[in-house]
Amino acid sequence: MKKIPSLLLVCLLAFSMAFAQYEKRSSEANVLFTDVKTQLSNNELNEIYDLTGFALAKNGTQFYLKDEPETAEAPFDVTVYPLDLNYDGIEEMAFEYGHATDGRKAGLSTLLCVRDMEGRYRANFGFKGTIVFLNINPLTLPDILVRQSSFGYPIWRWNGDNYLEHKTIDSKVLRRMHVTYLANASKAYTAPSVRE
pLDDT tens digits along 36-93: 999 999 999 999 999 999 999 999 999 999 999 999 999 999 999 999 999 999 999 9
Residue 169 near residue 152 (C-beta atoms within 8 A): yes
**What's the pTM?**
0.82
* Residue 46 CB neighbour total at 10 angstroms: 19
Q: State the DSSP H helix or E strand holding residue 132, giving kind and residue range, or none if neither.
A: strand 130-134
User: Whole-angstrom Cα distance, residue 77 to residue 54?
Assistant: 11
User: Whole-angstrom Cα distance, residue 86 to residue 65?
Assistant: 30
* Residue 96 CB neighbour total at 10 angstroms: 20
User: Whole-angstrom Cα distance, residue 184 to residue 78?
Assistant: 17
* Residue 34 CB neighbour total at 10 angstroms: 9
pLDDT at 103 over 80: no
**pLDDT of the residue at 196:** 47
Helices of type H across the chain: 3-21, 27-32, 42-52, 171-175, 182-190, 192-195
**pLDDT of the residue at 73:** 94
Residue 110 near residue 182 (C-beta atoms within 8 A): yes
Range 13-24 average pLDDT: 57
Closest CA relative to residue 165, chosen from 150, 186, 185: 150
pLDDT at 190 over 50: yes
